[in-house]
Structure 1
Amino acid sequence: MKQFKRFFRYAGALSLMGALVACAPTLKQTAQDDGTYSRAGRFALNVWDKTIDRNKEAVQGGFLWLDTTQRLDLDLRNPLGSTLARVSVTQGKATLVHADGSRVSAETPDALVAEVLGSEIPVAGLRYWLKGIVAPVAAEQEQRDAQGNLGSFTQAGWKVTLSDYDHKGPRKLGMVRNETLQTITVRLVINE
């Protein structure tokens, strides 16, 4: 039971880093002419505790992402495919719904992460990073690959690496946040 609570806590953070989402099982994983953007794949989140010099949290599973002009939805699943958490973000509201139906809401994804994790972490950039672009705030150390695609940068405290591009953006994303007491590492691999 304790492991599931930790999963919800960090899966919620990942969801919110996605800036984020609650997807229905029938969502299409295609880019649409109406501005809809969707992706599906796998994620892994690790939290390295510097005080004990070992991994204190490790979560992995699948995700389904849908971004429209009005709303972001993210469905997080365990490795067996069961939905564990859903996040929905609309103008002025971000909501995390756990598999048991309990909810946590805030005005923004960043505020929701602060409530779920107990610390402020700016996470709204993932909405842009999935598309291979930086969020509309200052970024540092931008590097591009031979094709001109964004390869790496630092933004909002995260070192981000993007690679293996298809027509919708990077298929591999790595994100590292190095804090005083811990290092958070998130990896996304896009399947669709």
Structure 2
Amino acid sequence: MIRPLLTALAIAAAAVLAGCATTPSAPRSSAAVAPYHDSIELAGRIAINYSRDGKKESLNGKFTWQQTRANTDVSLISPTGQTVAVIKLTPTSATLQESGKAPRSAPDLDSLSAQTLGWSLPVSGLRNWLQGHAVGSDGQPFVASPANDTVITRDGWKLEYMSWQDETAAVPQPKRIDVTRIALGQAVDDMAIRIVIDPPAQ
């Protein structure tokens, strides 16, 4: 009786150990990521470098950004404080007004800004990117964090989150974002945008 009992205990112990070995461990806790907000107001500095017809061009200055669930308003401001352009985007139209000129509208902001300014500001993407959100080239959602700070989007932009408002915060907010267009074959041969977001108002 003793030997069968010992054998049964050994089998039971082996089963318990096997069960422990195959049970997945609890996932390690990850840093919290910033939630997405439909409505935000931001301000900061922007530097745009691009090539057009073989000539290098650049724009440096400040910007203000206001978005709601449906609309986006962007003002680009020169270093001297002059408003260079105002962009208004709704679900059905895009309007761009340069300083001293009549506003121009079109269904598509990318082509409109490329024709009038010489470069295309990816406002639709920036609605997400400024908050650390994007869709990667693999179609999967991407949320930036200090440990996960680079992605190539499905529409051909490389996003690099270079710094954060407070990297030690429970939910870090982006501070500097470097955006590079990697698609070729368009009128603007290459383009890079550097965005520095001002700290949130206290």
Q: Under a length normalisation based on structure 1, what TM-score does the superposition of the two structures give?
A: 0.65
The structure where strand makes up a greater share of residues is: 1
Residues 60-108 of structure 1: CA distance to partner in whole angstroms, max 9, x if unpaired?
A: 0000000112311001100011111100111201100111132121113
Cα distance in 2 for partners of 1:190, 1:108 equals 26
* 1:176 counterpart = 2:180: yes
**Helix, strand or coil: the match of 2:149?**
strand
Contact 1:42/1:61 (<8 A) preserved: yes
Unaligned runs of 5+ in 1: 1-33
Which has the larger displacement, 55-64 or 118-127? 118-127
Q: Output the amino acid matched with 2:72.
A: L
Cα distance in 1 for partners of 2:127, 2:83 equals 21
Which structure has the larger Rg? 2
| Number of the residue aligned with 2:42 | 39
The RMSD of aligned alpha carbons is 3.3
| Number of the residue aligned with 2:5 | none
| Number of the residue aligned with 1:160 | 159
Identity of aligned residues (%): 29
Aligned-residue offset at 1:153: 0.7
Task: Give the paired residue count.
Answer: 153
Aligned-residue offset at 1:139: 5.0
C-alpha spacing 1:130/1:82, structure 2 compared with 1 (3 Å): same
Unaligned runs of 5+ in 2: 1-36, 166-170
C-alpha spacing 1:103/1:47, structure 2 compared with 1 (3 Å): same
Aligned-residue offset at 1:37: 0.4
Cα distance in 2 for partners of 1:121, 1:98 equals 14
| Number of the residue aligned with 1:186 | 193
**Helix, strand or coil: the match of 1:134?**
strand
Cα distance in 2 for partners of 1:35, 1:121 equals 20
Q: Output the amino acid matched with 2:175.
A: R
Q: Under a length normalisation based on structure 2, what TM-score does the superposition of the two structures give?
A: 0.63
Contact 2:47/2:194 (<8 A) preserved: yes
C-alpha spacing 1:58/1:115, structure 2 compared with 1 (3 Å): closer
Relative contact order higher in (CA < 8 Å, ≥ 6 apart): 1
C-alpha spacing 1:37/1:144, structure 2 compared with 1 (3 Å): closer
C-alpha spacing 1:135/1:57, structure 2 compared with 1 (3 Å): same
Q: Please list, as runs of the form range in 1=range in 2, the aligned pairs for 1:1-192 lying within 5 A after superposition.
A: 35-48=38-51, 56-116=56-116, 124-135=124-135, 138-139=138-139, 145=145, 147-148=146-147, 150-155=148-153, 156-166=155-165, 169-178=173-182, 179=184, 182-192=189-199
